[in-house]
Structure 1
């Protein structure tokens, strides 16, 4: 029986993986400039972490988690998102005790959700995300949003739309929750089972329902912005003010609801407006979560972050016709004919790599013409040609592929010669 890849996963092969590496390096470089340090958490955690951290009324916890019991009868879950594991590490390793606060972290890695696979939405998908823990300063909200926007811009994306909302503090959310319950309750029997179950526990999630989004009551639902108290309203205005000063365009959308329970105050999404991108336009999202650290057992600590899907980022690049500047060149390709020439090429190949350059040669004993074709396919900058005659004369021919200029160089000077040329 032929074994096939599991549904909702993908093999990222050479030729494609270089795009991923390029994006990941861009993200790492950007985080260094912004003062964020990398954290790597386990790919599976205690199931309780996500129930408490993500929220037991969310689709992720109720429908999408890969949960299993290990041999010790412990319930474990493949991580469906990166914030809760990062906060768990922050609490468990007492990073809140470090003198330099806020603690600014980033992660890159695979996440797992059991959902219907479609373009840009896989069961194993890759996220880049950042978390800033330890400050209530609205300028930090603006910084997080700015970093997300700068990553997209640095990759060449232009057709972007930043959408923001405020969910308010605990007092504001309580008043809004009561208004939502009163609004939906008389007709809740017209909504799906999920919405009915969430009415009393988390009615905000009804606004994010995909099945009932066209229901008339959705259009007239109380807006959270109308229930913000003075402190929450002032906070949101400050975040907007910082973004304006940075020259970052945004749209305030009172209907924006993030899919996880831990958000409060600032919430945002970045969307692609590229033609042909698809019906689901969201590229990334995030917001503030001032109660999550306490929920996971830590001290009262505010936090904010965002996460983006690398798969969806690649789709956005494709939709805008952007080709990443991937360097596929090999510095030198050895074309060798004859047993002695092959042996000498093997040694020179090793020395050239030791000198810090990329180099390749033929391993299938192909004819010279086929080796030259291989050098072309590898986009070699130089081709080093060795035959029996060159070995006897103690020389090697070096051809610059772009110009076609060919020189003969003493074998013992080859490495220094090519080092100068490549430098």
Structure 2
């Protein structure tokens, strides 16, 4: 007796995107590619799987991602620790170093795809989620920091997304952060009684992240902590002022947020987030900043860099709320037929229509006219083309407009000579 097979379902936090839901993804991806190309950014693709030590070194060993969230395993062949990428930047920098990309010039690059984090699934954040990652590699000035922010402001406008606010901070340089770190640890020691367990653990390893705590009992303490901005030197302040002046020139409003630190260790100078109140607790739509030390840290020749990442699921959620997402019809033209000869003729006509850029489905198999019309309507097609015995004998095709918007200036059904069908549909669909 054959043992029954236990039905398999998707892993928790890893979602299927079915055909009816994929159109908004495709539309967003195409919009993003066009938007990035308008600023000279080119696509770059890196592996999903990298050595674990790349992320431990690049992201920081005492970050939440490395400590708790990475999907890691030991490869049986190499005995190496490997990790599914939890973010793009470390892998993009690794590829930049490996292929000596900055030998002769700086690069503007981007990537889109899945990333993986082992955390509790929540709105807009799953265990497999997707990011748009943009990196400007080899550029040192505040002009590029501002360019990225101006770009994002344009994207929100293209997508018709209101109520996304910009928050800015500067993390300065390593020596400035070191001076602030000492003062911050001393301050936290004085307020140990209000620190929760996580903050106590981080107090000496990553004290900046203590200020980013969402624990309500710690908010007053965090608000009164010595701000890093007070420890910035003249050059760091000038860089930040340069960013702000350019944002003022572009008419982009922003809020200075001294507690904005981001969750990764590699940032310096400018950091920023675009936030909204329309996604519940997960209000960050996009985050990024400058990471001038990462290329050197990962073994490359020192070079500046700045970038950002956008969560695609969150962006799609916002587009859906704004009414900017819509399902795409399966086709524009649905070919209905009622004999083997008619189906063969329909296939030839369909290829001619596709030559003109139309999306066409030829009904597969047989079926009554009623069942085929039902399927044509369900496809979302604007028009059904009917090839029956009468049409074949007279060298014509009957066309029936199926969508309300197609009927405003047209009769519902008409007959057209086959030799004119492609031309007529190209003009009208």
TM-score higher than 0.5: yes
**1:396 is aligned to 2:397:** yes
Number of the residue aligned with 1:217: 221
Q: Cα deviations across residues 248-280 of structure 1 (Å, max 9, x unaligned)? A: 111101111110000111111101133xx3122
Paired residue total: 417
**1:81 is aligned to 2:81:** no
**1:158 is aligned to 2:165:** no
Q: Is the 8 A contact 2:134 2:309 kept in 1?
A: yes
Q: Cα deviations across residues 138-162 of structure 1 (Å, max 9, x unaligned)? A: 0100011111222122101011110
**1:181 is aligned to 2:213:** no
Q: Which range is displaced more, 411-420 or 385-394?
A: 411-420
Q: Distance in 2 between matches of 1:261 and 1:212?
A: 24
- Residue pairs, 1:7-22, within 5 angstroms: 7-22=12-27
**1:283 is aligned to 2:278:** no
In structure 2, list runs of 5 or more residues that go unmatched: 1-5
* CA RMSD between the two structures: 1.9
User: Which SS does the other structure have where 1:315 is aligned?
Assistant: helix
Q: Distance in 1 between matches of 2:241 and 2:73?
A: 44
Number of the residue aligned with 1:372: 373
Q: Is the 8 A contact 2:21 2:327 kept in 1?
A: no
Q: Is the 8 A contact 2:23 2:326 kept in 1?
A: no
Number of the residue aligned with 2:65: 60
**Shift of the alpha carbon at 1:46?**
0.6
- Residue pairs, 1:243-392, within 5 angstroms: 243-274=247-278, 277-319=279-321, 321-324=322-325, 327-328=328-329, 330-392=331-393
- Residue pairs, 1:79-158, within 5 angstroms: 79-99=85-105, 101=106, 103-158=107-162
**Shift of the alpha carbon at 1:400?**
4.1
User: Which SS does the other structure have where 2:149 is aligned?
Assistant: helix
Quick one: structure 1 residues 98 and 15, their matched pair in 2 at CA, closer, same or farther if it must change by over 3 Å? farther
Number of the residue aligned with 1:206: 210
Of 34, 41, 61, the match for 1:36 = 41
User: Which SS does the other structure have where 1:8 is aligned?
Assistant: coil
**Shift of the alpha carbon at 1:202?**
2.2
Q: Is the 8 A contact 1:189 1:196 kept in 2?
A: no
Q: Distance in 2 between matches of 1:152 and 1:335?
A: 42
Q: Which range is displaced more, 213-222 or 149-158?
A: 213-222
Q: Is the 8 A contact 1:43 1:78 kept in 2?
A: yes
**Shift of the alpha carbon at 1:335?**
1.7
Q: Distance in 1 between matches of 2:146 and 2:327?
A: 31
Quick one: structure 1 residues 124 and 244, their matched pair in 2 at CA, closer, same or farther if it must change by over 3 Å? same
**Shift of the alpha carbon at 1:115?**
0.4
Instruction: Calculate the TM-score normalised by the size of structure 2.
Output: 0.92
Q: Is the 8 A contact 1:90 1:96 kept in 2?
A: yes
Number of the residue aligned with 1:241: 245
In structure 1, list runs of 5 or more residues that go unmatched: none
Number of the residue aligned with 2:3: none
Q: Distance in 2 between matches of 1:326 and 1:365?
A: 28
User: Which SS does the other structure have where 1:268 is aligned?
Assistant: strand
**Shift of the alpha carbon at 1:48?**
0.6
Instruction: Calculate the TM-score normalised by the size of structure 1.
Output: 0.93
Q: Is the 8 A contact 2:274 2:286 kept in 1?
A: yes
Q: Is the 8 A contact 1:288 1:305 kept in 2?
A: yes
User: Which SS does the other structure have where 1:383 is aligned?
Assistant: strand
Q: Is the 8 A contact 2:352 2:422 kept in 1?
A: yes
Q: Cα deviations across residues 300-322 of structure 1 (Å, max 9, x unaligned)? A: 11111000101111222334x32
Q: Is the 8 A contact 2:70 2:83 kept in 1?
A: yes
Q: Distance in 2 between matches of 1:199 and 1:329?
A: 55
Q: Is the 8 A contact 2:124 2:313 kept in 1?
A: yes
Q: Is the 8 A contact 1:66 1:112 kept in 2?
A: yes
Q: Is the 8 A contact 1:340 1:388 kept in 2?
A: no
